[in-house]
Amino acid sequence: MLHIQDIAEKDVNRLIMPHENTPSPAPGQCATPEHCTTRLELFQRVSELDNRVSTDALTGLWNRAHFDHVIEKELDRSLRHKQPLSLILFDIDHFKRINDEFGHQAGDKVLREIALLANSAIRSSDALFRWGGEEFAVLAPSTGHRGAVQLAESLRGSVASHRFPVDGSLTVSLGVAEHADSESADSWFRRADGMLYAAKRNGRNAVHADARGNSDLWAASHGRAALHLVWQEAYECGEPAIDGEHRELFRLANELIDAFLAGGEEFAGVVRAYDSLLAHIAAHFANEEALLAQRGYAGLDAHRRAHAGLLGRARDLRSTVASGGAGLGGMIEFLAGDVVARHLFKTDRDFFPLFGGGPQRVAERGK
């Protein structure tokens, strides 16, 4: 599907092209202030229109068309970087009864409320879509099928414990599938859909998962190195101190993965590696915040809150594991996935322009 945003650049440039005798502006610049104003207004209109086309009018979530637009890019990123990608499908149990007994307006209100609950239950790196009717989809990057099951259970519990104005309590059924091998997006979706219907057949208000995925395939075929986080130049922000600490995060996260794979559920070695990574993360967050403050970073307060939240969750998880209340695999999933992969790949990229880093920096080096 061709999105409006895919053709916006060339069309806007065509509409505001200067007179043929006017010297051509440099890339990214405007011929005159009037052209700049026109260009900005056109991009804003195009962005608004694309947002309308990509979102579901009732719930405000991304729609099925946008899912189709992004899925191939997400699959390509997953395979290139060897980061797992999982899909969660869920729908509302006995939703037809709500429409039949209370009317479609009540049903629409339930759909909007489910959308709000699901948005609160998923992580900032995940993408939530309304697939159609009472069915929804979640794309969970850097997440294997085990982590996706935990995410799905969190979502299921949030809905089950919520009191709805219509009919009190409602439940959802969920199906989970991690992308495996080189299967097509359609085949992957069918596996997740099969798990959803298995949850329906087995009593509803449940999570069913296909226990296959690339994370296991890579581990079986290539050993430990397949699960390692791999540093690339595109991850550099351009500030040597921050980049050095980020590379050390990768090294310590990989040591944690190795300790887990070597010792299985043996506690002491994994926890030592966890504690080393956790100590480095705490020091890195403090150093990074100080450097961002020096540069006057506008998003510093939000960045500090994100750091504090991650550290709090990491320390709570450490205590839970020590008391036997959680598995070591969950500890690794959190640090290697949430803290290193998703926080660095997503949140940190917002400040990269301060230091001239990111993909553009790599492109310039190759010239």
With beta carbons less than 8 A apart as the criterion, state whether 1 and 69 touch.
Answer: yes
Q: Which two tokens stand for residue 90?
A: 């869920």
- Whole-number Å distance between alpha carbons of 362 and 367: 9
Bridge partners (DSSP) of residue 141 are 85
Residue 28's φ and ψ, nearest 5 degrees, are 85, -5
DSSP string, 327-356: -HHHHHIIIIIIIIIIIIIIIGGGGGGGGT
Q: CA angle, corner 309, sides to 308 and 310, nearest 5?
A: 95
Of the listed 134, 178, 236, 288, which one is catalytic? 134
With beta carbons less than 8 A apart as the criterion, state whether 159 and 146 touch.
Answer: no
The closest of 282, 253, 295, 285 to 270, measured between CA atoms, is 253
With beta carbons less than 8 A apart as the criterion, state whether 181 and 217 touch.
Answer: yes
Q: Catalogue the long-range contacts made by 331-336 (C-beta closer than 8 Å, 24 or more residues apart).
A: 331/270, 331/274, 332/256, 332/257, 332/260, 332/270, 332/274, 333/143, 333/144, 333/146, 333/147, 333/150, 335/253, 335/256, 335/274, 335/277, 335/278, 335/281, 336/229, 336/253, 336/256, 336/257
Q: How many CA atoms lie within 13 A of 108 on its CB side?
A: 8
**SS3 sequence, 269-311?**
HHHHHHHHHHHHHHHHHHHHHHHHHHCCCCCHHHHHHHHHHHH
Is 134 annotated in the active site?
Answer: yes
Residue where the block lists tokens 């790599």: 362
Sheet with 207-210: strands ordered across: 127-132, 135-141, 85-92, 172-178, 207-210
With beta carbons less than 8 A apart as the criterion, state whether 84 and 179 touch.
Answer: yes
> Quick check: helix, strand or coil at residue 177?
strand
The catalytic residues are 134
